[in-house]
Chains A and B, each alone.
Chain A
């Protein structure tokens, strides 16, 4: 490409010297070829790694959740036992009061209606327009 050049007799040689020897390292084209071959080889490795990572994370999550469930149930049970153990007469009194309230026909009807509505809610939700 023939083109315009600007000359500066004083600075030109020094500037040429400053920028001399700035180049890529040997084997530049071979390294590009390697990168391109990795590009083609990558998907299988990437997919395998991703599936393995997902499997490991799911297993860890399930283990963690199982422990949490066991700990929650055991904790709730232990707390209930402790309450009954420590506050036996008070709990008995509270249970008696609760039973007396439930036996009341009005309260019993209300509780039954709420339980029924809660049971039917998934079915009703499926029938409602979205």
Chain B
């Protein structure tokens, strides 16, 4: 990616401030999207994306260019998201079961409701296995190519393709079972 090369050159020239000013707009959507695909909560994902960028600001002078910039950023984002998710689950596991179900239901709501006819689709997306749901989210959130989704998830592209195929099949059959046509 040309933007990455420019950022890396700036870091190597010791101009981290400028590098960071380019990095944030270049990665804002992807860092947020990756966090959202794991946390399933927009506010939490935004907060985590902010934390990730602060971490990147601190770590940028130590970036040595051995790993691809995007791979490095995605790894930091994934680790931070998984840790945050673990903390959230632990907090929920300490609360009453019925309250937990309710909170998870609220936290899982992926978006401002776009249209009532998509409510059922959102419900079946939330019922997908974790990796399938994550692949579908990253793929459709910004119309990303499979290869980029794979890099973001830290998985081989073929594995992501399998997740996407299974997710679509699962969604179609769940919608059919709910008496709805996927079209």
Contact = CB atoms under 8 A, between A and B. Distances in A.
A, B assembled together = yes
Contacts of A41: none
Interface in B133-163: 136-137, 139-141, 143-148, 157, 161
Nearest to A9: B183
B114 A28 contact: no
Chain B interface: which size bin?
35 or more
A45 interface: no
Contacts of A11: 168, 171-172, 182
Nearest to A8: B168
A19 B110 contact: yes
B36 A4 contact: no
B88 interface: no
Nearest to A5: B145
A8 B136 CA distance: 12
Chain A interface: which size bin?
20 to 34
Nearest to B175: A11
Contacts of B172: 10-11
A31 B50 contact: yes
Contacts, number: 96
A18 B49 contact: no
A3 interface: yes
A25 interface: yes
Contact of B146 (A6, A17, A35): A6
Nearest to B157: A4
A21 interface: yes
B71 to A, nearest CB: 14
B54 to A, nearest CB: 5
Given A4-B157, A22-B36, A25-B46, 10 more contacts: A3-B146, A6-B164, A6-B165, A11-B168, A18-B110, A20-B111, A22-B141, A23-B32, A24-B32, A32-B57
Q: Top 4 closest A-B pairs, CB basis?
A: A3-B145, A3-B147, A10-B183, A15-B140
6 contacts: A1-B148, A3-B148, A5-B145, A15-B121, A18-B118, A39-B54
Interface of B: 1, 24-25, 28-29, 32, 36, 42, 46, 49-50, 53-54, 57-58, 110-112, 114-115, 118, 121-122, 125, 136-137, 139-141, 143-148, 157, 161, 164-165, 168, 171-172, 181-183
